[in-house]
Structure 1
């Protein structure tokens, strides 16, 4: 079939297998171009199929020759219906990992569930014995609690007061004012339950209990802080409360891993176009201005550049460069004073008319379509493509 993008708001309802594969190939080639990393050799990535999780799996495998197990929740293809981009990404990753003799297996299911935790641990014990590095990169809006069966839904809201500021429709380029009402009722608690650190700790507890972690094992979860302009709706809002909980959980997990010399860290990453960030008002305009500024300064990074630098310059070179709250800061280039000062200046004048000049809305839009395998250089989108792709380890 010929697959074209069908977009509804901040979601693309279709994805392109060849485009997704080319995206994966591009990331693999970037990691290889940067040389070998003396890193972990047995890696579990929870949330492994897109964004920072996929970049972590690629960097582990093709940077450190690591055996990887990836856990994710994605839709397979069916006749006449493309699979989700994460499914195609994983199929491509495994194909190229296996071609280079690398161990790579995947588990597709609800990572919040006890069943998937047990299935993953059984696979680790059977094939790898123990894991050296656990990457936790889940980004789900809902969670069914494994103990109670109750379904929780996260919300993106400020806390305490109404938030109003500029945003942009990245499809049309129209800059407008957005107003978001504050959290109410159980909004904060529900968001923390979905996006906080409880599930990360459950994974680490289960892995340790099963003796599936090697001596000195490390685990990393990903977070975001961001600038002053997004703080009311993001870091000081409901999602920020969840990130605070996630970051505090790192210390709890480290205490629990003391007997094996293990450590848990949170890495604060850069603002990038992801399926999750596309849904957050204000963020697309901020990222558009940020991209323009960082590209002009020659310090722009995508997911793979961020994670390759995290691995090569922080995790495995002996200098984590932790901040005063014990976090790894790989958002250091984004948060540079000169970068933020420029973004603030541009923000004040940003309008529908001048955004094409002062921002990089085209870069934002291209990155959005790339997430789903579209607008990727070197792919012929006019050609028929087989939507029926299988993940090798599931075939």
Structure 2
């Protein structure tokens, strides 16, 4: 037993420790927002199950449809000096939730890009269920080691074609700071490496490995999560190096969709995640979006619930002309974007706390690490030595 009082120490959007009780409560709060449906025996594999949309997809699948399956993520265990990563604690609580729901859901802590991880996960699937119905791919990583050639690829957050300057949100001692951030132009090599990390190659390898082992059940479907976003963030996101990787992801869906495989990308809406908060301009944009929409901003758990409803056939597919699932229509509605643009253009350092919902955004960032969660006593010691879920 190792109980400690955990405080949110860090700089900007990065914290040195995470709060175990807060992370656990986040999982419970997400599950409590999902209305349960009659479960069918479906087996799912979620790659990137410990945070962001991958976590939401895992919890929504468990709480709404009682899925069985495997979640894969790469998290750090607690040490003598530091707590575990937030995803470690969220995974432990998600495993407890699955057990309470009577589901068999296993969690593998390993590099999703590695062939050894694929072998471990496929062996587990073959042993327990002889196949899966769904694969959800939600990986956000800064780098990737390709096990086939040993090369390390590094993603870049840069513009393509011309440099770009954007307004961006930062915090100093909890107070919002409006900045102007310059975005450099990516080289061809940086674009290629970003595609290697964030594109569709590893997604395809997972599907090919499952197919090669005969582990795709009849009617199998797979979805990779993507984002398009606003014209305000376009130069740094959709038209930038990240966007090139997302385009590759969408092209991969077309090549995978054959031989009985239904492969699609799901275009999700803007959200506060550990990955998105690191991208210049995104924090400001999401703060403005929440200011405009309030509770009309659809959360990852709401969107993930809608995704599962479509995957299971409970509701019809909502597809665009390119065959992508669209969970972001609420965000890109013309009147919403017009209102956000007006606020963006009006934003100054003097009025930033008024035109944008900066307090909400900062609290959401802290919640990523288990802080600012209602019903959690942050003055009380909490157990930090939480074990990774053992397999049943």
Task: Give the TM-score band, short-chain normalised.
Answer: over 0.9
SS at 1:272 equivalent: coil
What residue in structure 2 maps to residue 180 of structure 1?
183
SS at 1:88 equivalent: helix
What residue in structure 2 maps to residue 100 of structure 1?
101
| Residues 98 and 5 of structure 1, relative CA distance in 2, 3 Å threshold | same
Find runs of 4+ consecutive structure 1 residues off by over 3 angstroms: 37-40
What residue in structure 1 maps to residue 282 of structure 2?
283
What residue in structure 2 maps to residue 223 of structure 1?
226
Query: Which structure 2 residue ranges, 5 or more long, are not aligned?
Result: none
Separation (CA, whole Å) in 2 of partners of 1:37 and 1:277 = 34
What residue in structure 2 maps to residue 58 of structure 1?
59
What residue in structure 2 maps to residue 370 of structure 1?
367
Q: Is the CA contact (8 Å cut-off) linking 2:145 and 2:153 kept in structure 1?
A: yes
What residue in structure 2 maps to residue 293 of structure 1?
292
RMSD: 1.5
Deviation, 1:318, is 4.7
Separation (CA, whole Å) in 1 of partners of 2:241 and 2:331 = 23
Separation (CA, whole Å) in 2 of partners of 1:128 and 1:90 = 21
Separation (CA, whole Å) in 2 of partners of 1:310 and 1:341 = 27
Q: Deviations over 1:246-286 (max 9, x none)?
A: 0010011112xx2xx22011000011111111110111111
Q: Is the CA contact (8 Å cut-off) linking 2:125 and 2:131 kept in structure 1?
A: yes
Q: Deviations over 1:93-134 (max 9, x none)?
A: 111211221111111010000000000000000112110010
Q: Deviations over 1:118-170 (max 9, x none)?
A: 00000000112110010100000100011001000000000111101211114
The aligned runs of 1:6-85 (5 Å cut-off) are 6-31=9-34, 34-36=35-37, 41-85=42-86
The answer to whether residue 268 in structure 2 is matched with residue 269 in structure 1 is yes
Separation (CA, whole Å) in 2 of partners of 1:94 and 1:120 = 16
Higher alpha-carbon deviation: 172-181 or 187-196 = 172-181
| Residues 94 and 289 of structure 1, relative CA distance in 2, 3 Å threshold | same
The answer to whether residue 125 in structure 2 is matched with residue 124 in structure 1 is yes
| Residues 267 and 138 of structure 1, relative CA distance in 2, 3 Å threshold | same
The answer to whether residue 247 in structure 2 is matched with residue 244 in structure 1 is yes
Q: Is the CA contact (8 Å cut-off) linking 1:43 and 1:69 kept in structure 2?
A: yes
What residue in structure 1 maps to residue 199 of structure 2?
196
TM-score by length of 1: 0.95
| Residues 274 and 40 of structure 1, relative CA distance in 2, 3 Å threshold | farther
TM-score by length of 2: 0.96
Separation (CA, whole Å) in 1 of partners of 2:47 and 2:345 = 39
Query: Which structure 1 residue ranges, 5 or more long, are not aligned?
Result: none
Q: Deviations over 1:43-95 (max 9, x none)?
A: 11000001110111111111101112100000012344210011100000111
Separation (CA, whole Å) in 2 of partners of 1:74 and 1:121 = 20
State the aligned residue count.
387
Q: Is the CA contact (8 Å cut-off) linking 2:39 and 2:67 kept in structure 1?
A: no
Higher alpha-carbon deviation: 283-292 or 177-186 = 177-186
Q: Deviations over 1:210-246 (max 9, x none)?
A: 1111011110110000111111111011000000000
SS at 1:186 equivalent: helix
SS at 1:338 equivalent: helix
Q: Is the CA contact (8 Å cut-off) linking 1:53 and 1:137 kept in structure 2?
A: yes
